[in-house]
Structures are given as structure tokens and as C-alpha cells.
Amino acid sequence: MLAQNFDTLSRARFQSLIAGGHVSVNARTISEAKHRVKPGDEICAILPEPEPAEPEGEAIPLTVVFEDNDVIVIDKPAGMVVHPSAGHGTGTLVNALIAHCGSSLSGIGGVMRPGIVHRLDKDTSGLIVVAKTDRAHKSLSGQFKSHGRDGRLSRSYDALVWGAPDRKRGTIDANLTRSTQNRLKIAVTANGGRSAVTHYETLETFPHGGDRPHASLMRCTLETGRTHQIRVHMARIGHPLLGDDAYGAGFKSSLVTLPETARLALGAMAGQALHARFLGFEHPVTHDELTFESQWPDNFIELISALRDGKWHDKTS
């Protein structure tokens, strides 16, 4: 009943409020969410002050693309981890947002913290949206859960890959699951797993005019958003991302074919050549359609320039 009448909070949030003794029926505190209510009952839910965030805020510079009372859109640099985890307790996007947003965070789930509704890999740069309120978190979570199938959410990434697909455009539909051989990796599975669909388009090939291009600039649009999805899917069709040691290890020997300037630019990236270029979503409060574009970072531009203009080498030479 509470969740149906107050859409600013999630069912899980109301469940935690009930378990914490913050909900009463006819002035009697209840402790179970399954408590039955009757017509005429007087129900009171008290929202306690948000608890301090567990991660400490850190004054880390952020590129803010958009911000209001409900959401903030950040252009994340490569090398920044989104959420604190083992080995990354500080220096994360969450640490930076806690310091940047301060009291404008109303308390996601009762805690003064930003609401992370999607993530980018550490070495992936580009656009990420974060909720600042419970109401925004609920709406954005729903949009990402539906993976854009309801028309509210859109995401596209630019990637540099080895070789070039035979077709300029295509769709990769392959379920993903945690690898049984390496728990840090994701693998394609024929049985079970989670649905994953990536649409791709070849924007440019390098070197120009080659019968079998050495590398390509791709645009990948997500129909779903699974961990490492683009990296695994592109490797699945034989075109792993440049700089992706996890899923493109078999292409390390191809480094010798790159122009020297491209090898240096790729080495400076210290990770896969993947950039979250476009992001669109429905504002959780105004319901306006918001769209954002992130320009390529300098190291991405340098690598593309080197691939375009450098002196290529035959692999057998």
C-alpha cells in the first residue's frame, strides 16, 4: 500500500523502514512488511535523517555535463573506478560525488550517497548518469532495467577494434555469464546466462582502402547493458578492442603491424579503446527527454590520428 501511494520511494526502501520500526498502523509500530491493512487504518511512515555515507568524500575534479536537484551526468575519464571495492577504496567516482554533491544528496536508501544505476569499466571513458535522490534512483533504475526497450534510454559507445567485420552493420545476440575459468571475466554461453544484444556499425577502417583493414572505428549501441558486454561481443565475432588484454590477448602479435605512433598512443591509454559517446534518458521528475554527447578524449583522438596517418607495417615483414 505504501509503495503504491508514494512512488518517490522504492518497495525495498519501505521494507527497510518497516524492519527498522519507522512505520506504524493506528499508532502501533509494525515490524513486518506483510502486515495486512484495512479500510480506515491510519498509517504513519517516518523517514529518519539519512545516515552519513560510508565512503569518505574526496575533492577530485569532475567534468559535470549536467546537474540539477535529482540527477548528475559526469564525463568520466579513463582510469577512474566508479564504485569503491577491494583494492579501490579511495579515488573513485563515488568518493568524488560525495564531496561534490554534499548536502544535495537526499539519501539513497537512507544513506547520504549517490545512486549508481549503471557503471563504466575503469578504463572506459565517457558519460555516466547518477541519481541524487531516492525518487530519481527508482526511475533511472527502471529505465536501465528495461534496457531502453520502452524508448526512454539510449546508449552508444565508440570503440577501436582489430580488423573489420564483413558487414558494415550488424547485431550480436549472445547471452553472457561469469566465466567458469576466470571469475574476473565474462563469457558467451549457449545455455542460460543473461540476454545481451549489441548493434554495431563500422564508421571508419584503417588503413584506408585496404582489402582487409588492420583496425576499425566502430559505434556500438546497447540493447542491453551487461558487464563487459561490448568487449566480449566484439571479441566473439573476431574483432576485440585495441588495448583489451583480457579479451584480445590473441591479437598481441598484431601490435607490430601498427604504426609506431599508434603503438605509443595505444600504450598511453593503458586499457581498452572504448568511449561512452552518447547517453539519453528520461528525466525522472520532469519526464523531459535528455540527450548528451561526449567528445573523444585526447588519447582516443591521438590514437585515431596515428591509425589514419601513420606508416603501417606488413605483419610478415
Contact 237, 172 (CB under 8 A): yes
Lookup result for grid cell 534496457 = 147
Active-site residue 121, yes or no? yes
Q: What is the DSSP string of 252-313?
A: GGGGGGS-HHHHHHHHHH-S--EEEEEEEEE-TTT--EEEEE-PPPHHHHHHHHHHHHS---
State phi, psi for 232 to the nearest 5 degrees. -70, -45
CB neighbours of residue 115 within 10 Å: 25
Q: How far apart are CA 123 and CA 118, in angstroms?
A: 15
Q: Which of 70, 121, 123, 158 is catalytic?
A: 121
Backbone phi and psi for residue 200, each to the nearest 5 degrees, phi listed first:
-125, 155
Residues taking part in catalysis: 121
